[in-house]
């Protein structure tokens, strides 16, 4: 019986090994089939998006929030994402870009200095000075103040020495730009929730691009950011914002349905920021004409809905610096709908109308906080009054 027992034990061992090997093989085959529950964006291609919830939140009739269907995605860079970029530090960025700004605005400084350095300035000369300042979008009131101050200085000192005139012009312009205004961006967590920045503006001002560049500015300061793609009417807006985020590791909350309620997307973005313990949530809104009452009312709704979770610390209005007085009318309309806290002036490298900085600040009573000086990803600079005036004067 001994040999029989040994044979039985060998057969049992072989059976166990075969069953185990089959189990491993089955597991491997299933694993190669992929994770069939992994989230995908609407086009069916994996993008690292995580479906937050199959719902959309909108303001209810009593000011509450009710569900209306429609998915909201949080898109984060997936494992196949390229190496993240490290944005340039924003500190001193305007100084580094000063040459570019000076080239675009040199006409103002050159014309003014040429006029003011003439011997025996006539009324015609002073009218030319005034016309030059008005052409730079300085505004009527600020122009009159500046001309009056310059005339007094020339009369009292009895000189039009170019060096002295340049100093007067620098000092008076700097006073109008007002370096005492608080131009800091509210970008720090407070009371357990992230800072919320709402970015608004009309079509074509570079609003979504500004959101992407602002994200880079804050990432360079080691802030944890979440983007909210609440521009649900322009098909490419969410994709554009997601691309900006992927480059620097910023997740983007977006709807998976075109034309979804913007307030619900903004709400979910802030909610995701709270859950992720992020420092800042930047919400991109759809561009809208300032004359369209319904679209303007929608901005107020977005702000109200978001503030059910966290206060909106910044409402940044993006203006195209080349639009001049039309840009001023836009600014005033937006300010009537939502409490603007700061201005972003884009395309400053393409205009000699630097006076709009003074004009918009005086009209709205809020500071210019950021200016766009080019097409590069790090060409958004915190506004520096001294560097700006120095660039204009040359």
Q: Which residues are annotated as a binding site for GTP?
A: 201-208, 284-288, 346-349
What is the rounded CA–CA span in Å between residue 55 and residue 72? 7
Query: How does strand 225-230 pair with strand 252-255?
Result: parallel
Reduced to 3 states (helix: H, G, I; strand: E, B; else coil), residue 312 is strand
H or E stretch covering 65: strand 65-67
What DSSP state is assigned to residue 143?
H
Can you say which residues are annotated as belonging to the binding site?
201-208, 284-288, 346-349
Please check whether residue 188 is in contact with residue 215, taking contact to mean a CB–CB distance below 8 angstroms: no
Phi, psi of 366 (to 5 degrees): -125, 155
Q: In this structure, are residues 49 and 40 in contact, taking their beta carbons and an 8 Å threshold?
A: yes
**Separation of alpha carbons 18 and 33, rounded Å:** 23
> What DSSP character marks residue 350?
G
**DSSP class per residue in 355-382:** THHHHHHHHHS--EEEEE-SSSTT-EEE
| Bridge partners for 198 per DSSP | 283, 315
Structure tokens at 194: 């992230």
DSSP for 148-188, written as a single string: HHHHHHHHHHT---HHHHHHHHHHHHHHHH-TTS------S
Q: Tokens standing for 72?
A: 């909201």
Where does residue 229 rank: exposed (0-12), middle (13-18), buried (19+ CB within 10 A)? buried
- How many alpha carbons lie under 13 Å from residue 57 in its C-beta half-sphere? 20
């Amino acid at each position: 019986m001994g040999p029989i027992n040994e044979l039985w034990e060998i057969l049992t061992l072989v059976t166990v090994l075969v069953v185990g090997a089959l189990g491993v093989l089955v597991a491997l085959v299933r694993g190669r089939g992929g994770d069939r529950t992994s989230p995908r964006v609407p086009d069916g291609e994996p993008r690292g998006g995580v479906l937050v919830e199959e719902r959309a939140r909108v303001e209810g009739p009593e000011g509450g929030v009710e569900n209306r269907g429609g998915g909201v995605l949080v898109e984060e860079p997936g494992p196949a994402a390229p190496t993240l970029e490290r944005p340039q530090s924003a500190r001193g960025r305007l100084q580094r870009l000063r040459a570019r700004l000076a080239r675009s605005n040199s006409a103002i400084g050159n014309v003014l200095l040429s006029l003011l350095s003439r011997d025996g300035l006539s009324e015609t000369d002073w009218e030319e000075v005034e016309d030059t300042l008005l052409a730079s979008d300085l505004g009527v009131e600020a122009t009159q103040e500046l001309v009056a101050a310059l005339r007094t200085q020339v009369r009292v000192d009895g000189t039009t020495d170019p060096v002295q005139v340049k100093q007067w012009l620098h000092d008076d312009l700097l006073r109008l730009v007002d370096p005492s205004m608080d131009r800091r961006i509210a970008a720090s967590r407070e009371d357990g929730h992230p800072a919320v920045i709402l970015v608004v503006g009309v079509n074509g001002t570079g609003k979504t691009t500004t959101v992407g560049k602002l994200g880079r500015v804050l990432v360079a300061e080691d802030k944890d950011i979440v983007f909210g793609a609440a521009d649900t009417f322009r098909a490419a807006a969410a994709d554009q914002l997601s691309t900006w985020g992927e480059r620097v590791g910023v997740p983007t909350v977006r709807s998976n349905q075109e034309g979804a309620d913007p307030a619900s997307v903004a709400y979910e973005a802030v909610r995701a920021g709270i859950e992720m313990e992020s420092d800042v949530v930047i919400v991109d809104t759809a561009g809208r004409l300032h004359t369209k009452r319904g679209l303007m009312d929608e901005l107020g709704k977005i702000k109200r809905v978001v503030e059910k979770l966290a206060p909106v610390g910044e409402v940044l209005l993006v203006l195209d610096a080349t639009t001049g007085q039309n840009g001023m009318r836009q600014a005033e309309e937006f300010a009537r709908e939502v409490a603007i806290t700061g201005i972003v002036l884009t395309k400053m490298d393409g205009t000699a109308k630097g006076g709009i900085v003074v004009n918009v600040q005086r009209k709205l009573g809020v500071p210019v906080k950021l200016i766009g000086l080019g097409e590069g990803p790090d060409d958004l600079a915190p506004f520096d009054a001294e560097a700006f005036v120095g660039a204009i004067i040359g």
